[in-house]
Amino acid sequence: MTERHPPRVVPLVDQRSSSLTTPAAAFSPETRLAANGLITDKRQRALRDLRISVTDRCNFRCNYCMPKEIFDKDYAYLPHSALLSFEEITRMARVFVAHGVQKIRLTGGEPLLRKNIEALIEQLSALRTLDGQPLDLTLTTNGSLLARKARALKAAGLQRVTVSLDGLDDAVFRSMNDVDFPVSDVLAGIEAAREAGLGPIKINMVVKRGTNEHEILPMARRFKDTGIVLRFIEYMDVGATNGWRMNEVMPSAEVVQLIHAELPLVQLDPSSPGETAERWGYANAAGQHDKTAGEVGVISSVTQAFCGDCNRARLSTEGKLFLCLFASQGYDLRALVRNNPSDVDLTSAVAHIWQGRTDSYSELRSAMAPDTGLGQRRVEMSYIGG
Ligand code: SAM
Ligand code: SF4
Ligand code: SF4
């Protein structure tokens, strides 16, 4: 039932070179803004969550993210000098935390491919939120290197991990990662993460209709009662290379129905404002949430826009600040930080950029006909981070 896609020829426009300029008002003494943890954008959305992509490279070629025919041996990845250094990342992270960020997620590409990532984690884990708490510091990984690295990551100060896993059937999984990587190694990585105390562990499964929807129930059965939260993600139209079609999206409502028919579910309240996943708990015989059985989540980025309280900013591998996962351009913070700005200027730049934010791509997409884009080419998920 696994579908192999015919090679697609997708014209690739490199969005990485163009960028937006920080408003000049950020640097003028009259309009400079300080950090008070309270900045909001044009829709009154706070800034709470920062996702940092630490590499644009990956050892998988998931066809929904880095299709082989585009990300081949000739693909021009960023040179090392283009990447933000750990010191630059930490300096920027400190500014975002001063503006109210409480959660930092390291992503990519495959973040565990970035050399000595533990050193970055050590630096970030020393930061404190405005009320003196440690950050919620996490990382999303394909799990391939987790068995080897889990203990070192924990020792460096990482709190938890999210592991991407699109099915339990080995043939389905090998075909989706498209590098013939065995599912058993990812499961071993998840086990190593659990043993190292990198919990609560979340697992992300991208559901692609016609490819892996038959893996939904086996995944639900496997991770029920384990304390691991399995989340089903609607296949999204990120980037410009994955040949996205609406008919390959399985709406989250269908995923919930499918699981509920075998393993009854009850809807749970969101655990925090701006949370991307809708939470569903396994029900006991009385129809109440059975906490020992746990919960699943669904992320309905396509069928149910959740832009209204989106508090996420994204820092790309080369230091561009994106205000939306679907943005086509980012603000070049690397240029700024390499120009030796004062902390005051850097802080003001981020404040001005966030205050000007209007992004709400998912809402706009919902209002459009299926399979239409918004006319601008978007950056790749592997560059901006998930
Ligand atoms: N390589 C790491 C991994 O796979 O977990 C981190 C980066 S990956 C870009 C982050 C997340 O984005 C993964 O959970 C992946 O499944 C998800 N993702 C990538 N492309 C997607 C798409 N087109 N639709 C939905 N989710 C996608
Ligand atoms: Fe790599 Fe993650 Fe993209 Fe898969 S989803 S190709 S593992 S970056
Ligand atoms: Fe946030 Fe953009 Fe996603 Fe809307 S589409 S929830 S603004 S990242």
pLDDT at 306: 81
Instruction: With CA atoms as reference, report the closest residue to 215 among 158, 261, 157, 176.
Output: 176
Atom of ligand 2 nearest to the CA of 206: 5
In CATH, what number is assigned to the domain containing residue 50?
3.20.20.70
pLDDT at 98: 97
Q: Per the domain annotation, does 379 fall within a domain?
A: yes
73-109 residue pLDDT tens: 999 999 999 999 999 999 999 999 999 999 999 999 9
Q: Per the domain annotation, does 182 fall within a domain?
A: yes
Q: Per the domain annotation, does 23 fall within a domain?
A: yes
Ligand nearest to the CA of 307: 3
On whether the CB atoms of residues 140 and 105 are closer than 8 A, the answer is yes
Please list every protein residue whose CB sits less than 6 Å from any atom of ligand 1.
58, 64-65, 107-108, 110, 140-142, 164, 204, 206, 233, 235-236, 238, 242, 381-382, 386
Q: Per the domain annotation, does 69 fall within a domain?
A: yes
Q: Is 58 in the pocket of ligand 2 (CB under 6 A)?
A: yes
Number of domains in the chain: 1
Half-sphere exposure of 31 (CA within 13 A, CB side): 11
Domain that holds residue 34: 18-384
Q: Which residues of the chain have pLDDT under 50?
A: 1-13, 373-375
pLDDT at 5: 40
Collapsing DSSP to helix, strand or coil, 236 comes out as: coil
Q: Per the domain annotation, does 3 fall within a domain?
A: no
pTM of the model: 0.93
Ligand nearest to the CA of 106: 1
What's the CA-to-centroid distance between 51 and ligand 1, angstroms?
Answer: 13
pLDDT at 14: 55
Tokens coding 146: 């987790």
What's the CA-to-centroid distance between 258 and ligand 2, angstroms?
Answer: 26
pLDDT at 301: 87
Buried residues in 196-214 as b, exposed as e (16+ CB within 10 A): bebeebbbbbbbbbebbbe
Q: Per the domain annotation, does 8 fall within a domain?
A: no
Q: Per the domain annotation, does 7 fall within a domain?
A: no
Q: Per the domain annotation, does 11 fall within a domain?
A: no
Q: Is 204 in the pocket of ligand 2 (CB under 6 A)?
A: no
Q: Which of 206, 231, 235, 361 to mutate to test the pocket of ligand 1 (most atoms within 8 A of CB)?
A: 206
Q: Per DSSP, what are the bridge partners of residue 49?
A: 103, 312
DSSP string, 298-348: EE-TTTS--GGG--EEEE-TTSEEESSTT-S-EEEHHHHHTT---HHHHHH
Ligand nearest to the CA of 239: 1
